[in-house]
Amino acid sequence: TARELKENGRVMAKKFDSVTVLFADFKGFTQYAERMSPEELVKTVDHYFSAFDEIVAKHGLEKIKTVGDAYMCAGGLPFPTEDHALKMVQAALDMVAFVEREKQLTADSRPRFDVRIGINTGPVVAGVVGTRKFAYDIWGDTVNVASRLETASDPGRINISEETYTLIKDQMECEFRGEMEVKNRGELRMYFVVKERLMRVTA
């Protein structure tokens, strides 16, 4: 992408038929932020998002952007892969585990956060926008639904769509939530990820 931008001054938008998108945010973050100093707020956000960056990189995924306390990443681009849904759910489990560990380690005077995660799989369009501070971004209904799934999730839970569930159901134990109303989309079937069926082998 960087090479194309340097050579042509722009990047052609590209459609990907199957990408898994994750949104994460922290319950009650706005209320905590109002009581924190700017320095403490930035330090806290950086601490969590730096850990998320490491998790995303470990699983071969792509960080897209952060907005406030919202973190967005994707799998299956810029180079298509077959196992992006599984890698994303594994990364989400690692994110939840990290936040839970932080709750146990954090001093009483520091805020303890709960993370909410939503994941969806489907087609997206990716490209670079703007003329300054170029940003690689993705668009499409898949992205919108992933954001809605995060909003509909519960603290400490990973809420996934039917599309993602279909791709990871053999490797992950999931809990069917039923059909839930989603803004501008009607009712969608949703699942909470419970745990990985087989433990991962780590080096």
Instruction: Write out pLDDT tens, residues 93-150.
Output: 999 999 999 888 765 566 678 899 999 999 999 887 766 666 788 999 999 999 999 9
Bigger pLDDT: 200 vs 128 = 128
- Band (pLDDT 50/70/90 cuts) for residue 42 is confident
Q: HSE (CB half, 13 Å, CA atoms) of 148?
A: 20
- Band (pLDDT 50/70/90 cuts) for residue 38 is confident
Q: Is the pLDDT of residue 161 over 90?
A: yes
Which of 91, 141, 98 is CA-nearest to residue 120? 141
Bigger pLDDT: 132 vs 179 = 179
- Band (pLDDT 50/70/90 cuts) for residue 1 is low
Query: Phi/psi of residue 161, each to 5°?
Result: -85, 170
Q: What does the alpha-carbon distance between residue 84 and residue 116 come to, in Å, rounded to a whole number?
A: 20
Proportion of the chain above pLDDT 90, given as a percent = 60
Quickly list H helices, the chain.
2-8, 29-35, 38-58, 84-105, 141-151, 162-168
- Band (pLDDT 50/70/90 cuts) for residue 40 is confident
Q: What does the alpha-carbon distance between residue 122 and residue 163 come to, in Å, rounded to a whole number?
A: 7
Q: Is 183 a catalytic residue?
A: yes
SS3 184: coil
- Band (pLDDT 50/70/90 cuts) for residue 37 is confident
Measure Cα distances from 124 to 14, 18, 70, 140, 163 in Å: 8, 7, 19, 5, 14
Q: What is the DSSP letter of 111?
A: -
87, 116, 148, 157: the active-site residue: 148
Q: Is the pLDDT of residue 5 over 60?
A: no
Q: Which of 3-12, 43-52, 93-102, 165-174 has the least mean pLDDT?
A: 3-12
- pTM tops 0.95: no
Mean pLDDT of 166-182: 94
Q: What is the DSSP letter of 99?
A: H
Q: Is 58 a catalytic residue?
A: no
Q: What does the alpha-carbon distance between residue 140 and residue 202 come to, in Å, rounded to a whole number?
A: 35
Tokens of 99: 């936040």
- Band (pLDDT 50/70/90 cuts) for residue 203 is very low
Q: Is the pLDDT of residue 160 over 80?
A: yes
Query: Phi/psi of residue 6, each to 5°?
Result: -70, -40
Q: What does the alpha-carbon distance between residue 63 and residue 114 come to, in Å, rounded to a whole number?
A: 20
Q: Which helix (H) or strand (E) holds 190?
A: strand 186-196
Query: Phi/psi of residue 183, each to 5°?
Result: -55, 130
14, 183, 185, 197: the active-site residue: 183
Contact 189, 166 (CB under 8 A): no
